[in-house]
């Protein structure tokens, strides 16, 4: 109210007298599209639309086919000025109030871990602040061994390309990562295996991107509203996109998350995404992971297989990203040592479960239409990763290294309007399994 009143008074006492101090002003009414003739200008006002406006021309000043009308300030102009001042001030107050009440968007850096800086040398230890022999350090060491083993197996199968390794660190010594990426291979168009080890803090709302049990963990921590959540995470993630449509894409991720000594969990899994169905391949892939799961718990495979079918669902399409595998999250129902060994065996099983399928199909012939279908399925893959994938969403919200986070996206993909495969075709056959997952073992 104070701003409105002051603005109105200003409009009445300052603006109106200033305008009224001119005894009269002139307005030009154009009666044709002809140009103005030069007119001597005695007074020039700067305006928003016209560069020059001639004021108070003498009778000798004429203009072709243009009529000047002399108009005087009406008596009610002060009232209009007063009302205009009020409206202007009220609009300013409304805008100012809106800016104060609107929630400010949170930047990536604000959400947690700081900026990532690329380095030239691979570090011996990424999580430098973790105690030797601790679960945190042992998880990193296990993931690094797995990264090297899997990259070696993929290079041997490809026969041409090599993984390029680079590393990055976070400001303040909060950790970092090692990325290994293969591009333009003979078998794989793109493959990446990325390690991340981070200790930092994040807003409470960001925890929901990392786990479905965020509310439970926050309650256990007993944090005050707005108090940041301390966390540690060690993760190894991988996606491999082959060239041949008969060679399936493969993805895995294994990670350990810790908020404090009493609130921690393991998560991850391995899944496969073929463009064309080979039942024996799926039986082999799923069977190899069932063997690993059964060594620890007979309920692991059926539970984790169901988890994968549900997690990798592209909800807006009503179909899964691929043909599943195993997926688990918030796994903390037994001791850390047992679960660490379980994750290590699952990770070590990746070359065993995947490479023989690639060797079987990497030299298969394919048509242009089959390649087109593969690219369409890659489009689905991309949709899931950018819309639903928990690791991608958390990485973006936490301010992680973008090149590592988006490494999972294929180099080439395709979208077509309302594409439907021909009924009874090989494309339609596998689509039915995307819509209704099958049991392979």
Q: Which residue numbers are catalytic?
A: 251
Question: Which run of H or of E encompasses 192?
Answer: strand 188-202
Q: What DSSP state is assigned to residue 177?
A: E
Q: How many CB atoms lie within 10 A of CB 227?
A: 13
Strands (E) located in 243-295: 249-260, 263-273
Per residue in 305-316, is it b (16+ CB within 10 Å) or e — as a string? bebbbebbbbee
- Measured torsion, CA atoms of residues 322, 326, 327, 330, in degrees rounded to the nearest 10: 170
Cα(224)–Cα(218) distance, integer angstroms: 9
Question: How many CB atoms within 10 Å of residue 413?
Answer: 17
Length of the chain: 441
| Cα–Cα distance, 177 to 119 (Å, whole number) | 10
Q: Is 191 within 8 Å of 181 (Cβ atoms)?
A: yes
End-to-end CA distance of the chain: 74
- Burial degree of 48 (CB within 10 A; 0-12, 13-18, 19+): exposed
Q: Which of 344, 269, 280 has the alpha carbon at shortest distance from 309?
A: 269
Residue 211 near residue 394, CB atoms below 8 Å? no
3-class DSSP assignment, residue 302: helix
- The three-state secondary structure class of 256 is strand
DSSP letter at 434 equals H
Q: How far apart are CA 405 and CA 399, in angstroms?
A: 10
Provide the sign of the torsion angle of the four alpha carbons 54, 59, 62, 65, taken in this order.
positive
**How is 5-66 classified by DSSP, letter by letter?**
HHHHHHIIIIIHHHHHTSS-EEEEEE-SSPPPPP---S-B---SS-S--B-S--TT---TTE
Nearest CA among 192, 182, 194 for reference residue 158: 182
DSSP reduced 3-state for 150: helix
Nearest to 238, CA basis, from 159, 166, 151: 151
């Amino acid at each position: 109210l104070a701003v409105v009143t002051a603005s109105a008074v200003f409009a009445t006492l300052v603006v109106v007298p200033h305008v009224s101090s001119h005894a009269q002003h002139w307005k030009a009414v154009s009666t044709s599209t002809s140009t103005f003739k030069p007119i001597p200008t005695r007074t020039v006002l700067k305006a928003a639309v016209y560069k020059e406006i001639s004021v108070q021309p003498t009778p000798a000043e004429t203009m072709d086919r243009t009529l000047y009308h002399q108009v005087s300030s009406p008596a009610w102009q002060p009232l209009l000025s007063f009302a205009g001042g009020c409206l202007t001030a009220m609009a300013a107050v409304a805008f100012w109030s809106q800016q104060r009440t609107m929630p400010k968007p949170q930047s990536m850096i604000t959400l947690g871990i700081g900026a990532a800086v690329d380095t030239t040398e691979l570090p011996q230890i990424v999580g430098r602040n973790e105690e030797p022999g601790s679960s945190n350090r042992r998880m990193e060491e296990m993931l690094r061994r797995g990264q090297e083993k899997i990259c070696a197996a993929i290079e041997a199968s490809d026969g041409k390309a090599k993984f390029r390794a680079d590393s990055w660190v976070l400001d303040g010594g909060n950790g970092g990562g090692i990325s290994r990426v293969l591009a333009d291979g003979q078998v794989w168009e793109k493959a990446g295996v990325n390690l991340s080890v981070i200790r930092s803090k994040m807003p409470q709302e960001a925890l929901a991107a990392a786990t479905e049990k965020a509310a439970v963990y926050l309650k256990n921590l007993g944090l005050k509203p707005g108090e940041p959540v301390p966390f540690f995470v060690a993760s190894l993630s991988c996606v491999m996109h082959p060239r041949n449509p008969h060679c399936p894409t493969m993805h895995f991720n294994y990670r350990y998350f810790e908020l404090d000594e009493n609130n921690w969990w393991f998560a991850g899994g391995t899944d496969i995404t073929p463009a064309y169905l080979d039942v024996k391949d799926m039986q082999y892939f799923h069977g190899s992971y069932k063997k690993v799961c059964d060594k620890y718990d007979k309920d692991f495979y059926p539970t984790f297989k169901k988890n994968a079918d549900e997690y990798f669902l592209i909800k807006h399409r009503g179909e899964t990203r691929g043909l599943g595998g195993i997926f688990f999250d918030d796994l903390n129902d037994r001791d850390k040592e047992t679960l660490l060994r379980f994750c290590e065996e699952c990770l070590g099983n990746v070359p065993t479960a995947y490479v023989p399928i690639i060797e079987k199909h990497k030299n298969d012939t394919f048509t242009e239409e089959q390649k087109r279908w593969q690219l369409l399925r890659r489009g689905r893959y991309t949709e899931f990763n950018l819309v639903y994938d928990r690791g991608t969403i958390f990485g973006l919200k936490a301010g992680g290294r973008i090149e590592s986070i988006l490494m999972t996206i294929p180099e080439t993909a395709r979208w077509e309007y309302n594409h439907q495969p021909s009924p009874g075709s090989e494309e339609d056959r596998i689509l039915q399994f995307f819509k209704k997952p099958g049991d392979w073992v």
